[in-house]
Amino acid sequence: MRLESIGQRPVNNIVDITNYVMFELGQPLHAFDADKIDGQHLKIKNLPQGTEFTALDGSVKSLDKDDLIICDGTDRPLCIAGVYGGLDSGVSQDTTNIFLESAYFSPTPVRKTSFRHNLRTESAAHFEKGTDQHQCLEALLRAALMITEITGANSNSQYIDNFPNPLPLAVAEIHTEKVRSLIGKSIPNGEIQLILESLSMIIDKVDENKWNITIPSYKTDVHRQADIIEEIVRIYGLNNIESAKKFSFSMPEQLANDSMTSRQIAMQYLADSGYSEAMGLSIINSTQWSKITKNENFEGVRINNTSNVQLDLMRPEALATALEIVAHNQSRQQNDIRMYEYGRSYNVTDQKEYKEDEYISIFGTGSLWDESWAIKTKDSFDSFYLKTTILNLLKRLNVTKFQEKKLTGDPRFEDAIELTMGPRRIAVLGEVSKSWLKASGIKGNMTFGQVYWENVIEMINNKPIKFKEFSKFPVVRRDLAVIVGAEVTYESIRLLANKTLSNYLTNMKLFDIYSNEEQLGKGKRSMSIAFYFTNSVKTFEEKEIEDMMKKLIETLESKVDAFIRK
């Protein structure tokens, strides 16, 4: 009942007793079937790389050359030391003779072996945190006593204790003035001494302020002055330490145009635009990423993650966590998503050097609007909406002089564009590849954009923004229906128009696209564009507008082979 109350599954009397003693005294034990130990003696050693070991759960492990193994007289592996027992020597219903083992194992090799074989046990957890080297015998005798009392067994041998090189007790130096300073309370030296001695710590006073403290072996988590101060506070009582009435701290001065301030401006804009901030993990599952990208040979920045062996790859790009976030939300019936994330990606260069890049990712799925009787449209989060967001974000940061072009050959996207400034990529955006979505467990479409933050920072125009007085004179609008080849983009027309009529053209809007092979010809389409002209000093005359439109039409006809619909 006591083991069940702490979440432990009963196995049999012998195993339950060893588990009970482990939780009672903090010392793991292991019970062997003595009749299955060949040669009637044990060895603790490393076995050759690749040696097979059958664990208690029936799984077969390929041992590493650094794994510490408990073997019998024939070097047959019986147990992974401190981690897991073997099937061939475990206690069963047919066991009549038991051999108990109680040992001290160093934390580091136990932890490495445990994670290497994905064997997370209570025994390994205890050894990883450190056990008392002087408690092995006490735990052994306690377990033997409980076995004889509960099962009626007889103890037929004396214990064997092999402890040739006991580890020295840890010694830490403390300064009592530092103790008082960190605690924030003037505790007398005498009271500090009483507290430490009550914890079985031996004090060697070098002088009135400097003490050498010998730490008892059972205090496996105490190693340095900070740990000792924590013990003093624990016994003294936090309730006896008054809180300061005033707190003071310094804030680093930051320039208005530095990266952090610009990032805050960007993230605030996205939040104001209806996006929620996401914070994904910077480590992902390499197996899942290889499945998504269909690249089994991808290396990336691998880590030895002791907390979760499946999360073993530093995020290679922003889309990795965006896919996880969308899949997580969809699995909880959250299908209408608009999110952004600031983060870093990690890769290895051709020169085998680690490279870290900053980004802001913006992504979403589903509908733009909640269901409502007042909203009849079903607008979806798509590339056009995301493009508007990114363009406005860059404009907000005063990054305006960039080029837009179609992005091809990127396996992440079905259809995408990129924004560049010279050789530098500023942003990419598009519809995520169907195969990537399927491998990630995402239903429907997903639109994703990435702003390459380090490149954007270099391009930010830090000149102060100056207000320009609005024109007092009427704005003139002229519409053109331009027939062009299907490969000609609106962006290319916009750039040509701005270059041709830069003095007076203040805005353009594409309000219609029309395709019909019979009327327009094969591979042709018509774009209806509104052009807005403003003059800050006078009202336009009709001839001025006609001259500008004529100049624009001539430019479009010569540069993109355009034809103007009458």
pLDDT of 441: 93
pLDDT of 304: 82
pLDDT of 491: 84
Domain ranges of the chain: 2-151, 171-240, 259-459, 476-564
Q: How confident is the model at residue 463 (pLDDT cuts 50, 70, 90)?
A: low
pLDDT of 252: 59
Per mean pLDDT, which range of 103-107, 256-260, 269-273, 280-284 is the poorest? 256-260
CATH class of segment(s) 171-240: alpha beta
Q: Compute CA 488 distance to the chain's CA centroid, rounded to the nearest angstrom.
A: 41
Phi, psi values for residue 560, rounded to 5°: -125, 15
Residue 256 pLDDT exceeds 50: no
Does residue 431 contact residue 417 with C-beta atoms inside 8 Å? no
The CATH code for residues 476-564 is: 3.30.70.380
Q: How confident is the model at residue 259 (pLDDT cuts 50, 70, 90)?
A: low
- Pairwise CA distance, residues 373 & 444, whole Å: 24
Q: What is the DSSP letter of 119?
A: -
Residue 10 pLDDT exceeds 80: yes
Residue 454 pLDDT exceeds 50: yes
For residues 351-362, give the mean pLDDT: 92
pLDDT of 520: 84
Q: How confident is the model at residue 251 (pLDDT cuts 50, 70, 90)?
A: low
pLDDT digits (tens, 9 = 90+) for 175-220: 999 999 999 889 999 999 999 999 999 999 988 889 999 999 989 8
Residue 302 pLDDT exceeds 50: yes
Helices of type H across 244-344: 259-272, 286-293, 318-330
CA-based nearest residue to 31, from 96, 118, 115, 108: 96
Residue 431 pLDDT exceeds 90: yes
Put the strands of the sheet holding 84-85 in their side by side order: 43-46, 68-71, 77-80, 84-85
Residue 276 pLDDT exceeds 90: yes
Residue 344 pLDDT exceeds 60: yes
**Average pLDDT of the chain?**
89
Residue 102 pLDDT exceeds 60: yes
Residue 51 pLDDT exceeds 70: yes
For residues 5-18, give the mean pLDDT: 87
- Pairwise CA distance, residues 115 & 304, whole Å: 9
Buried b (16+ CB within 10 A) or exposed e, 405-430: eebeeeebbeebbbbbbeeebbbbbb
For the chain, give the percent of residues with pLDDT over 90.
54
pLDDT of 81: 93
pLDDT digits (tens, 9 = 90+) for 436-453: 999 999 999 999 999 999
For residues 247-276, give the mean pLDDT: 77
pLDDT of 462: 67
Widest distance between CA atoms in the chain = 117
For the chain, give the percent of residues with pLDDT over 70.
97
pLDDT of 262: 86
Phi, psi values for residue 22, rounded to 5°: -60, -45
The CATH code for residues 259-459 is: 3.30.930.10
Give the CATH superfamily of 2-151.
Answer: Phenylalanyl-trna Synthetase, Chain B, domain 3 (3.50.40.10)
For residues 359-378, give the mean pLDDT: 84
pLDDT digits (tens, 9 = 90+) for 118-165: 888 999 999 999 999 889 999 999 999 999 999 888 888 888 888 888
Residue 495 pLDDT exceeds 60: yes
Question: Residue 71, Cβ neighbours under 10 Å: how many?
Answer: 23
Pick the more confident residue, 247 or 334: 334
CA-based nearest residue to 548, from 517, 502, 510: 502
- 413: helix, coil or strand? strand
Q: What stretch of H or E contains 532?
A: strand 524-533
pLDDT of 2: 82
For residues 227-236, give the mean pLDDT: 94
